Each structure stands twice: as structure tokens, then as C-alpha cells.
Chains A and B, each alone.
Chain A
Amino acid sequence: MTNLEKYNQAFIEVLEVEVDQLSELKYQDIESWDSVGHMELVATIEDVFDIMMETDDIIDLNSYAKGKEILSSNYGIDF
């Protein structure tokens, strides 16, 4: 799987969304992306990329797009 596919899959599985919902998706836009859903999403992302995210990054990850930016600039993950 490419990094983008892994990233998308984390959102799709945890938040139970379709791939065409991802690009504009933001925290609390949907019921499943609440605080608990957010923790599950972060834990899944950490698992698939074998990283441990910093608290500030966990808080800043407030959209699908922002998440890609954070992973790319702070964790060296290329999409």
C-alpha cells in the first residue's frame, strides 16, 4: 500500500467514511470524528506509520488535509 492509501484507509476504517468524503473532512464535521474518534484515528495513524505523535501534532490534526501536512513535515512521510 502507498502512504496515501494507508492514510486514507485509517480515516475510512476509524471514521466509517467513504474515500470521496476525505479531502474536505474536518474534526467534528461528522459524528464519528469526536474526541474519542480522534484518539482512535491518531492511534491508527501511529500504528500504520509506526510513529508516536507529539501532543501538539495530535491537537493540530484537525482535518484530513492538515494531517497530511503534519505527517509530511514532522514525521517525514511522503504522500
Chain B
Amino acid sequence: MIEINKKNIRVWSMLGMRRMIGPIMEDIVCYHDNIIFSTADLGRYFAYEGLLAKYPEHVVNFGIAEQNLIGASAALQKEGFNVFASTYATFITSRVLDQIRVNVGIMGFGIKLVGGAGGISDGNFSATHMAIEDIANLRTIPNITIICPADGMELVKTLLWMADFDGPVYVRLTGRANMPIINKVDYNFEVGKAIVCREGTDVAIVSNGTILGEVLAAAELLAENGIDCKVINMHTLKPLDKEMLFSIQNMKLVVTVEEHMKTGGLGGAMAEFYAEQSSHPRMLLLGIEGAYPDPGEYEELLIECGLKAESIADRIEEVLNQ
């Protein structure tokens, strides 16, 4: 049984999201006979050694063949298994988009898609390993729940929920080892229900994933300049928490921050929602725009893409002063 306590929260932070997958799956399969962890030769990437050693019957490695990973995972779903198909986020979404479209969107198989290195965290491997259009790609396919956990504890809660859920899910892992701890104590996690991380009255900043660490730091910088920000963790991108979106509709500015192309991700989803309302807030969408970033270390890329706290705060202040 996975214990949520101060020590484990710290361990998960040090490990980073991808290295949590194997150990957490080891616990999950104890209580769920029908779970399969499938991968396209990235078992070690997800620290699956313990899972493979203790529960080999719950692991299938399809080799570097992502389209086959999805097709075969769909077949396993049809036979009654609950499959966690895991590889790089860009491969589990963009590379296999047609297989997802057919097997998940059209045929309705509830595969759980686990995407490591969402955003730019593995940008040292270049743009081929960045997932910055993955949310946009999957949002258009019906019935897929899309979740981007903020930290280790939220990832644990997401995986536990996925183990009991029949439908298709995409869980986007972000950040690296020593990721920020956004949720310091246990809390009630509900898919589709956003969480207020910081109360505020002037500006709402909506985000998800580990980039929330930068967003919270940006809110503190803005507070020093008298701008009071509400920070919201919209961990579920699909379905969006409409009640939360209505609640911030009348704020001076609604900002979205994401490790994703500016187009089609969280910001795009929220803009689509507000476009259909009789009134809508002024919005500022912060994300990656213009071109795929050059290869680089994660911290360098965050700076280059304007996703560090200082840049986020500067842009918000600039827009408010316009």
C-alpha cells in the first residue's frame, strides 16, 4: 500500500516523475491483477527493474515499435487487461497518433498512455524528444482524459485513479529529478477538479505540471509589486474544471502557463471555453511559440522559452500596464 507521508513526498521529488513509475506500478499490481505495464523499450527509463523482477507477468516490452505498442495494448485491453502503455510523451502521442485515433478514439479501448518527458525536460536530446504539441494532438480525440500532475504525490494519486478507471487516459509526466513539491500535505484529488494553490484577487494564473513551481515563484515576485495572483493547478486538461473557469471569469487577467506550444494546449482549451460564454476575461497565454527550441539543458530551455518565474512575472506586469 502506497503511503503518503513526508518522507515519501521527499523521495518522489528527488526521483522525478519518470523514475516513480516502476516503483509505484509495483504497488499497484499487487491489488490489480489485470494491469499490464507495456513499453517501447523504455522500461529502464521508467525504473521498472523491480516490477520486472517481481511481477514479470505484468510487463510487456514491445521494443522500439511505438505503433505496435498501441495496437498490441489495444488487443490486451480487449482481452480484459488495463494497459499502461509507456514511452516518451512525444512518441506516445504524436508518433502513434493514428493508432490512438483508431484504437482509442474510434474503437474506444481504454489504454492508459503514460508519457515521460512531457514539455522540454529532456530537451538535451533535441526537439525530437520534446513533447510540446502533445496536448493539442490528443485534445481533439474524443473521450480521452488528459492529466498533467503537478508533482510526485499528484502523480501517485493519478496512477491509482487510472488503475480503477476503464476509459482511456493520457498522463503527461513533466520535470526532472528534484522536481518541486507543489502539494506539501495530503489532499483530496479529484479528476476534473482544479486546485487553488495560492489565493489572490487580481490575476488568475492557471497552469499544470512541474512548471507550477515557476508559476508560484512568479506570483511571489508579482506580490512584491502589489499584484495579487491566484494560482490554479488545472491538472486535468480534459475535462476542464468549468466551475473553476467561471469563478475566475471576472478577474483583471487570466494567464495560462504551460510547457507546450502556445497553440492548442491549456491556454487554447480555456480560450475555446470562454469564447462560447457571453462574457470572457482578458487572457494572456504563455507557452512556447514560434519555433522548436534548440537542444539544451532543461533550465536553459526554460529561460529561452520565457518560462522561468522572472519572465512570467515580467510578461504579466507588462500586459497589466498596457
Contacts and interface: CB of A to CB of B under 8 A. Distances in A.
Interface string B1-14: 00000111011001
- Chain B's interface: helix, strand, loop or mixed, by majority? helix
Given A34-B49, A55-B178, A39 B15 contact: yes
B50 interface: yes
B45 to A, nearest CB: 12
- Chain A's interface: helix, strand, loop or mixed, by majority? helix
Interface in A24-60: 34-36, 39-40, 42-44, 46-47, 55, 58
Contacts of B10: 43, 46-47
Contact of B7 (A36, A43, A55, A58): A43
A35 B10 CA distance: 14
Interface in B1-33: 6-8, 10-11, 14-15, 19, 23
A42 B14 contact: yes
Q: How large is the interface on A (under 10, 10 to 19, 20 to 34, 35 or more residues)?
A: 10 to 19
Contacts of B6: 47
A40 B11 contact: yes
B293 to A, nearest CB: 25
Contact of B47 (A36, A46, A47): A36
24 contacts: A34-B49, A35-B15, A35-B19, A36-B11, A36-B15, A36-B19, A36-B47, A36-B50, A39-B11, A39-B14, A40-B7, A40-B11, A42-B14, A43-B7, A43-B8, A43-B10, A43-B11, A43-B14, A44-B7, A47-B6, A47-B7, A47-B10, A55-B178, A58-B14
Interface of B: 6-8, 10-11, 14-15, 19, 23, 47, 49-50, 178
Interface of A: 34-36, 39-40, 42-44, 46-47, 55, 58
